[in-house]
A and B are shown apart, each in its own frame.
Chain A
């Protein structure tokens, strides 16, 4: 049983989130630093370049990094204040064991011995797959690769999955089905050449802020912007055409746009003929998808759908950008394929100013979904069920096919099986499923059923509070490696500082556990560059081919776009890393000349038919509920909810609702409201704004505990990608009772601790001393 040993308040008293505001030594010493180190932001998939100021082995501030071509100095608030994590008093500094009275500090040896003996005990009793691992895509490519290898060769379990399952998998599956490869089709610079940019289901200004600049640059050159979203988000405010579709209706809109494009003869027949297959089926599938039909479903006037289709179809060049808005659905993969159908039907792909890209949410959302910590994947974006792929990786790793586990189950399914009692043990790294997975009450029950749970993390996240053993890991700035940005650019992360206290680098912890499990011979790495070089070999010949990339080349060129394969005969056949060459320049734009990555060299149309979401509104729950992000918070908030200036921007989640709905509910801005779904309820304050559909409410999902949007969402999964349907639920809303309001105010009070009002038991002075590395 892994029930948390402390109450929610006791956890807050000891482990935060505490709001932290100033660098070590305060602001008076900002201009006093030892070094300025080039690296990248640790948050979203844009991976902006940034310079970090270092003093006495701590990060004390930032400087804009003008030389990095993607962002040229630009940053969003998260990047600017990220340095406040490094010397944060909530940092985990020692291994800990759970006792009945809270967590007790223990030695590394004790922590690892106990973890390893529990792994062995559980696997001996219930079988290898009864111990699962959950990983995250904030990890570098090196760590992602290592986790994939660690789970399969050290834990020897099939059940490894990652939090990209909640993020990138619909796009990944859709891209693979359409194009045979999973990457944004172009480097971002191509956006500026587009004459029409069609943006659907993504709040670019808040989730990918620097991309705003690319879209404005296109607009300055005459581009038209079409924006489809249930909310009039900041970028949509200035769009040339705004399509206010209701959540879950994306594929109807996209089908109807294709219908108009075909009806009005705007297809590129020569391109379809030469470079694609399956257009006939798609043509038949959208034959009845008239704008009037789609208007009924989406709530977007038919004339606007016609307008959008014609603008996109008639333009010489055009880009489609989308993100979780249409991917976080049980139709996520179909929605992505519908976008691909539009791009392919009009031939707007593989040329400057033309493309179809998904916007990656997480820091290494792109690279992290390529190198093997997905349950069905091997390095190089290979398929774990493909005998040829398995054979090659077995050769690289020096194991037999029997020793390499098969396909496992996905993140939410792992939690489901824990709840069922099939999975008994769990190791997680940089993943906070209690906040980020849907139906939080169910997942809390599941975690309480585990026989053993070990966690590697740098803050005690809501999920980690259920752990038996806590292993303090490293922040991005404490470990060297590479990540791959949303545009497919492999970049170098530098490590200006070392971990504080007894915290260790994540990869060193994994190597230590592997050694203690008696599997050390497969993990002979002295540093992360050696891990990268093995990744190069392992990815060679896969679709995500990194074999021609070296760390040195990345630094020289400000990033390399994969695929970057071997050029020499020896490089293509060698099993010795030192014989790999680095002559290939990389591939900023995919599909040039109509070259796609399916075995037949063509792109594939995929027919999609309209179906409803898993849960729709009814008499009992008449309001659509959808979730998303705000600009100053990141994912489950484990990091950003501890950074004072970012919390001040958005201290607590608020429920956005339209004035017309508010009038009906008799709710005004800042009133306390209770939102209920079939899974649970949340009490938060209202924000009455006319920038959301009148039948829909919106809540950001970055908060845990009683402020968690995922208390309300459901565990319905896309049948192909297994992504949960966060974006579409049915709810009801009412004014909160006085008792509920008191509870809500108490929740807010508890999650707003600053260093000035900490209880004595927190030992702030002691922690600060230990943070000095």
Chain B
């Protein structure tokens, strides 16, 4: 497993949720999906983002856990909470900068992605990266990744003052410098009216035909 790495490339994601459906087939979490996939802003784009656990070198979730229920294996996989220890306080849920852990009230426990430890620890691929139709989720060696495709794998992230390095790589488009996550300002921007107007692929079309009954014409 040590040579194998996990790459997430959201540009390729087509939002099909095959990863979620495959993840939910694992018997260690009984029909629940540990991978999350969401639209960034469906009103403005079909861009979706699949989110697996990034398996941080110094996991914030484990650092804030009052019950010491979250363990990291020697090969760098951050496990789901241990059932006998987890007290369901949701500290980890609130602290994770990637928004990965989730609390399940029906079992009063946090569960999260463990990179299919039952599979990857015996040399198999994780479920989500096995099925992903577009290889937005890719599991293989760095050499394999680089021989097949472009993009810049990155595993260091800046959240405000906190620098985080991870086992999982996020693939940036070639030429991107780095990821400085200013989450707050992004959230503010979402509430500006017309924030996404510049993304309208149909801006050149006018007028609307609603009243005149004429077909839409391009601005030629």
Q: Could you mark each residue 19-57 of chain B with 1 if its beta carbon is under 8 Å from any beta carbon of chain A, else 0?
A: 011101111001100000000001111111000000000
Q: Could you mark each residue 189-220 of chain B with 1 if its beta carbon is under 8 Å from any beta carbon of chain A, else 0?
A: 00000001001111011001111110111111
Q: Which of A76-84, A308-316, A465-473 contacts B (4 or more CB under 8 A)?
A: A76-84
User: Contact: B134 with A212, CB < 8 Å?
Assistant: yes
Check if A62 is an interface residue, CB within 8 A of chain B: yes
CA distance A746 to B205 in the complex (A): 38
Knowing A76-B18, A302-B220, the reply to whether A664 touches B208 (Cβ < 8 A) is yes
For chain B, the bracket of interface size reads: 35 or more
User: Contact: B46 with A691, CB < 8 Å?
Assistant: yes
Q: Which of A73, A238, A690 contacts B200 (CB 8 A)?
A: A690
Tell me the smallest distance from the CB of B194 to a CB of chain A, in Å. 10
CA distance A622 to B216 in the complex (A): 10
Give 25 pairs: A residue, B residue, CB < 8 Å, sorted on A: A28-B27, A30-B26, A31-B27, A62-B25, A64-B127, A64-B130, A80-B22, A80-B131, A205-B134, A206-B16, A232-B201, A233-B46, A237-B45, A295-B218, A296-B217, A296-B220, A616-B215, A619-B213, A622-B209, A631-B17, A659-B43, A661-B208, A689-B42, A690-B45, A690-B201
User: Contact: A693 with B148, CB < 8 Å?
Assistant: no
Check if B97 is an interface residue, CB within 8 A of chain A: no
User: Contact: A220 with B149, CB < 8 Å?
Assistant: yes
User: Contact: B18 with A80, CB < 8 Å?
Assistant: yes
CA distance A617 to B200 in the complex (A): 23
- Please indicate which of the listed interface residues B25, B31, B42 has the most CB atoms of chain A within 10 Å of its own CB: B25
Residues of B within 8 A of A242 (CB): 201
CA distance A242 to B15 in the complex (A): 19
Check if B14 is an interface residue, CB within 8 A of chain A: yes
Check if A501 is an interface residue, CB within 8 A of chain B: no
CA distance A193 to B31 in the complex (A): 40
CA distance A233 to B134 in the complex (A): 15
Residues of B within 8 A of A692 (CB): 202
**Nearest B residue to A732 by beta-carbon distance?**
B210
CA distance A26 to B32 in the complex (A): 12
Check if A244 is an interface residue, CB within 8 A of chain B: yes
Tell me the smallest distance from the CB of A620 to a CB of chain B, in Å. 8
Check if B132 is an interface residue, CB within 8 A of chain A: yes
Tell me the smallest distance from the CB of A205 to a CB of chain B, in Å. 4
CA distance A77 to B33 in the complex (A): 12
Tell me the smallest distance from the CB of A281 to a CB of chain B, in Å. 29
Check if A520 is an interface residue, CB within 8 A of chain B: no
Residues of B within 8 A of A77 (CB): 16-18, 20-21
Tell me the smallest distance from the CB of A250 to a CB of chain B, in Å. 15
> 19 other contacts beyond A74-B130, A616-B215, with CB at 8 A cut-off?
A30-B26, A73-B125, A74-B131, A75-B18, A75-B22, A75-B131, A76-B131, A205-B134, A216-B134, A220-B149, A234-B15, A244-B202, A244-B205, A620-B213, A632-B16, A660-B208, A689-B44, A694-B205, A695-B208
User: Contact: A246 with B220, CB < 8 Å?
Assistant: no
Check if A209 is an interface residue, CB within 8 A of chain B: yes
CA distance A163 to B25 in the complex (A): 33
Residues of B within 8 A of A102 (CB): none
Check if B76 is an interface residue, CB within 8 A of chain A: no
| Beta-carbon contacts under 8 Å, A620-637 to B | 620, 622-623, 631-632
Residues of A within 8 A of B132 (CB): 74
CA distance A242 to B199 in the complex (A): 13
- Please indicate which of the listed interface residues A216, A242, A665 has the most CB atoms of chain B within 10 Å of its own CB: A216
| Beta-carbon contacts under 8 Å, A87-129 to B | none
For chain A, the bracket of interface size reads: 35 or more
Tell me the smallest distance from the CB of A411 to a CB of chain B, in Å. 30
CA distance A244 to B199 in the complex (A): 14
Please list the residues of chain B having a beta carbon within 8 angstroms of any beta carbon in chain A: 11-12, 14-18, 20-22, 24-27, 30-31, 42-48, 125, 127, 130-135, 148-150, 196, 199-202, 204-205, 208-213, 215-220
Check if A301 is an interface residue, CB within 8 A of chain B: yes
Q: Could you mark each residue 554-577 of chain A with 1 if its beta carbon is under 8 Å from any beta carbon of chain B, else 0?
A: 000000000000000000000000
Q: Which of A79, A664, A695 contacts B215 (CB 8 A)?
A: A695
User: Contact: A30 with B27, CB < 8 Å?
Assistant: yes
User: Contact: A695 with B21, CB < 8 Å?
Assistant: no
Q: Could you mark each residue 410-428 of chain A with 1 if its beta carbon is under 8 Å from any beta carbon of chain B, else 0?
A: 0000000000000000000
Residues of B within 8 A of A687 (CB): 42
CA distance A631 to B21 in the complex (A): 12
User: Contact: A296 with B218, CB < 8 Å?
Assistant: yes
Tell me the smallest distance from the CB of B219 to a CB of chain A, in Å. 8
CA distance A62 to B46 in the complex (A): 29
User: Contact: B213 with A80, CB < 8 Å?
Assistant: no
Check if A551 is an interface residue, CB within 8 A of chain B: no
User: Contact: A73 with B130, CB < 8 Å?
Assistant: yes
Q: Which of A238, A616, A661 contacts B210 (CB 8 A)?
A: A661
Tell me the smallest distance from the CB of A431 to a CB of chain B, in Å. 26
User: Contact: B213 with A232, CB < 8 Å?
Assistant: no
Residues of A within 8 A of B130 (CB): 64, 66, 73-74
Tell me the smallest distance from the CB of A81 to a CB of chain B, in Å. 6
Check if A210 is an interface residue, CB within 8 A of chain B: yes
Q: Which of A29, A209, A688 contacts B133 (CB 8 A)?
A: A209
Tell me the smallest distance from the CB of A635 to a CB of chain B, in Å. 17
User: Contact: B21 with A81, CB < 8 Å?
Assistant: yes
Check if A213 is an interface residue, CB within 8 A of chain B: yes
User: Contact: B27 with A235, CB < 8 Å?
Assistant: no
Residues of A within 8 A of B20 (CB): 77
CA distance A22 to B149 in the complex (A): 38
CA distance A237 to B40 in the complex (A): 13
Knowing A212-B134, A695-B215, the reply to whether A30 touches B25 (Cβ < 8 A) is yes
Check if A16 is an interface residue, CB within 8 A of chain B: no
Residues of B within 8 A of A694 (CB): 202, 205, 208, 216
User: Contact: B216 with A246, CB < 8 Å?
Assistant: yes
Tell me the smallest distance from the CB of B205 to a CB of chain A, in Å. 5
Check if A683 is an interface residue, CB within 8 A of chain B: no
List the 6 shortest-distance A-B pairs measured between CB atoms, nearest first: A619-B213, A30-B27, A205-B14, A209-B133, A695-B216, A64-B130
